[in-house]
Amino acid sequence: MKKIKILALPALAACLFILSWGCDNLNKPMKAKLIPLEDFFRNPEQTAYQISPDGRHYSFLSPYESRLNIFIRQIGKEESTRLTSETDRDIAGYFWANDAQILYLKDQGGDENYRLYGVNIDGTNPVCYTEFEGVRTQIIDDLPDIPGEVIISMNKRNPQVFDPYRLDLNTGEMTMLAENPGNIQAWIFDHDGKLRVAIAITDGVNTSLLYRETEADEWKNVLTTSFKDEVAPFFFTFDNRNIYGTSNLGRDKSAVVEFDIANGQEIRILYEHPEFDISSISYSRKRKVLAAASYTSYKRERYFFDDTTKLLFEKLESRLEGYEIGISAFNKNEDMFIVRTYSDRSLGAYYLYNLNTDELNKIVDVSPWLDENEMAVMNPIQYTSRDGKTIHGYLTLPKGYTLDDAKNLPVVVNPHGGPWYRDSWGFNPEIQFLANRGYAVMQMNFRGSTGYGKAFWESSFKKWGREMQDDITDGTKWLIDQGIADPERIAIYGGSYGGYATLMGLVKEPDLYAAGVDYVGVSNMFTFMKTIPPYWEPLLDMFYEMVGNPQNDSLMLREVSPVFNADKIQAPLFIAQGANDPRVNKDESDQMVEALKARGIEVQYMVKDNEGHGFHNEENRFDFYRAMEQFLAQHMGQEETAAK
């Protein structure tokens, strides 16, 4: 089971550009306590807890010189030891390779070319296994039953494609397991660490499952489908014969299935939900059983295949009442667990649970400086688009307001990135920060957002800046019709695709928004497609079908490119950009700023030279949100709630 979440490129079909992260009212005398900006966006003191395979130690990320580094502590002891000393960039992710060594990933200045590093748990033998310029390393399989090896992939041979390698952690020797012919987007290994399944893009828009019985056999194509149809292998059955995964073949929603991989046939449906896609499934490696399936309604839900897992969660939920829980890590014997709590108003805490003694001990609160009683409630909402689609979303109101009494509030409309992604319920520091400053914040899962089925996703194809944008506009107008939003005090803010939606919102609805904040957003559909990372290029035909072809759809793409419509923008705009962004090139923001300035439109521009797609360094986050706070306050009449 993977413990690290730096995903392989096949993620294009799911999400392209995801970022990761009061006003006084005469009818409402209560005002929230003004919380320092830094408290929302500072690095956590301790986070990302993992546990060693033998259950003797746990590890975590904690700041060292303002960067998240790896620390380790023996269970039952008070002292911690810092294993890494990175000062230029946070560690992006890490995991235990075995009882004696931890592996981690880190990029350079936000370029997303992650390198794999290792360090012993006593701090000795620090090593970089993949020190190659311009090469991205990805983790395929951590091989928990083979302590001295891991499976990685790299685009070292060809920047456009990723080849799988078996890495010997003791010698650093890498063995290429297969040469990617150029169309393989994912590799799947069985429980013995043997490479037996691959997912290929056959002609740019069709997806094929490739299979071989042993590593000595030739690959054979067992199933080809349109990329719109999903067969997503998760892992082999425990006899290494079939595959457990999700599939929407012949149905709208993705279900958990058992798949006869040798013959390319779905054997049986194990679980499906009538309204939502299944997003993940988990299993017990020790007991060799399926554990649970997860899906997202307005918040994360689980279906349990296994009574033992169900009873474990029921026991933990009864003892951690009022919080959502997740098991973020466990040891090899599956009797020691790291438990994480959270809610919409709290980043929660980490706990250590011992199954044998039934002891549950708190390790640490993630952000003890934030009082959840001062945070705002995240309300699930829904409205109907102009063409009859149900759009789900969330409305966070300043503390003290309810959906019944919220009237005439300043609002920040916050479309998500992706765009093939979705917002979900939980603690979001951006949302809580804006609510603390007196803004209602609206998030909507416009058409194309994931988790709502195939038809809803496909309804976004070639709809950038069109119906997708209309869904955002319809949500904004719904807030006005409900009397919640003050029509004169509505801003729009988003990152990545959300930044693009911000620009298009100002283009299409020049009188609706008082201001806009574009964070690493696309402005020119033509230049954007020319500057994508090289490993996205094999998927361009798919992208053309989903977004538009620069030649065949040139008129449409020009119409939905904000830079060519800058003359329609009237509201003041703040743009922020990372200089090393590999997904949305800095030129996207440069040309938008130039076009606006040429037309006399007020534009504030922030560029960070040591950042990529979103600001990860703590001091840069502080700068961005401080500038955004002042910008919104200036144009939304909120000067009295902005930190001076």
What is the CATH number for 455?
3.40.50.1820
What are the CA-CA distances from residue 258 to residues 221, 235, 345 (Å)? Answer: 18, 10, 38
Q: Which one-letter DSSP state was computed for residue 246? A: E
Give the residue among 578, 635, 438 at the shortest CA–CA distance from 35. 438
- Active-site residue flag, 85: no
Roughly how many angstroms between the first and final C-alpha of the chain, as a whole number? 47
For residue 639, what pLDDT is reported? 64
Nearest to 248 by CA among 221, 220, 224, 269: 269
Please tell me which residue in 247, 343, 581, 635 is annotated as part of the active site.
Answer: 581
Radius of gyration of the chain from its Cα atoms, rounded to whole angstroms = 24
Domain for residue 344, yes or no?
Answer: no
Domain-embedded: residue 569: yes
Helix (H, G, I), strand (E, B) or coil at 57: strand
Burial of 124 (0-12, 13-18, 19+ CB in 10 A): exposed
Largest CA distance in the chain: 75
3-state secondary structure of 264: coil
pLDDT per residue over 68-86, tens digit each?
999 999 999 999 999 999 9
Task: Give yes or no for residue 189 having a pLDDT over 80.
Answer: yes
Domain boundary among 148, 178, 208: 178
**Is 241 within a domain?**
no
Share of the chain above pLDDT 70, in %: 94
Residue 330 counted as domain residue? no
Work out the number of other CB atoms within 10 angstroms of the CB of residue 473. 21
State how far the Cα of 74 lies from the Cα of 56, in Å rounded to an integer. 6
Sign of CA dihedral 93, 98, 99, 100: negative
Q: How much is the average pLDDT of 415-432?
A: 97
Domain that holds residue 539: 375-641
Q: Which of 178, 206, 224 is the last residue of a domain?
A: 178
Q: Nearest to residue 604, comparing CAs of 566, 633, 581, 631?
A: 631
Query: Of these residues, 346, 367, 496, 589, which one is catalytic?
Result: 496
Q: How far apart are the C-alpha atoms of 153 and 151, rounded to whole Å?
A: 7
Quote the CA–CA distance of 76 and 352 in Å, as a whole number.
11
- For residue 380 the two structure tokens come to 């699930």
Q: Is the pLDDT of residue 48 over 60?
A: yes
CATH, residue 174: 2.120.10.30
Distance of CA 314 to the CA centre of its chain: 27
CB 480 within 8 A of CB 408: no
Q: What is the token pair recorded at 581?
A: 């962004």
Determine the pLDDT at residue 640: 59
- Is 7 among the domain residues? no
Peptide bond into 419 cis (omega under 30): yes
- Contact assessment for residue 559 and residue 627, using Cβ atoms and an 8 Å cutoff: no
Tokens (6 digits) for 90:
């946070």
| Count of the separate structural domains present in the chain | 2
- The predicted pLDDT at position 203 comes to 84
Average pLDDT, the chain: 93
Instruction: Clarify whether 496 is annotated catalytic.
Output: yes
Main-chain phi, psi angles of 174, to 5 degrees: -115, 135
Find the mean pLDDT for residues 569-589: 95
Query: How many helices (H) and strands (E) are present in the chain, helices listed first?
Result: 11, 35
Q: What's the CA gap between 70 and 79, in Å, rounded? A: 14
Amino acid 424: pLDDT: 96
Residue 16 pLDDT more than 80? no
**Which pLDDT score, from 0 to 100, does residue 643 have?**
53
Collapsed DSSP state (helix, strand, coil) of residue 257: strand
Structure confidence by residue, pLDDT tens digits, 540-549: 999 999 999 9
3-state helix, strand, coil in the chain (%, to 5): 20, 35, 45
Q: How far apart are CA 471 and CA 386, in angstroms?
A: 8
Residue carrying structure tokens 């195939």: 454
pLDDT band at 32 (very low <50, low <70, confident <90, very high): confident
Please report whether residue 261 resides in a domain: no
* CA 573/CA 499 separation, integer angstroms: 11
Of 577, 578, 580, 584, the residue nearest 603 (C-alpha):
577
Two structure tokens written together for 525: 């559909």
pLDDT for 642: 60
Q: How far apart are CA 495 and CA 413, in angstroms?
A: 12
Query: Is the separation of the CB atoms in 446 and 391 below 8 Å?
Result: yes
Give the DSSP H or E segment for 432: helix 429-436
In a domain, 35, yes or no: no
Give the pLDDT band of residue 536 (cuts 50, 70, 90): confident
Residue type, 274: P
Each residue's pLDDT tens digit, 312-342: 999 999 999 999 999 999 999 999 999 999 9
Q: With bands split at pLDDT 50, 70 and 90, how would you rate the model's confidence at 31? A: low
What are the beta bridge partners of residue 164? 153
> CA 4 to CA 139: how far, in whole Å?
8
Q: Which of 57, 392, 416, 613 is catalytic?
A: 613
pLDDT grade for 26, boundaries at 50, 70 and 90: very low
Among 130, 146, 178, residue at a domain's last position: 178
265: three-class secondary structure by DSSP: strand
Write the single-letter amino acid at 149.
Answer: E
Rounded to the nearest 5 degrees, what angle is found at the Cα of 640, between the Cα atoms of 635 and 644? 95
Res. 594 pLDDT band, cuts 50 70 90: very high
613 belongs to the catalytic site: yes
Which of these, 376, 373, 379, 429, lies nearest to 399 by C-alpha position?
Answer: 376
Rounded to 5 degrees, φ, ψ at 498 are: -60, -30
Domain annotation covers residue 585: yes
Q: What is the DSSP string of 268-326?
A: EEEE--SSS-EEEEEEETTTTEEEEEEEESSSEEEEES-HHHHHHHHHHHHHSTTSEEE
Of the candidates 113, 119, 19, 147, the one whose C-alpha atom is nearest the C-alpha of residue 59 is: 119
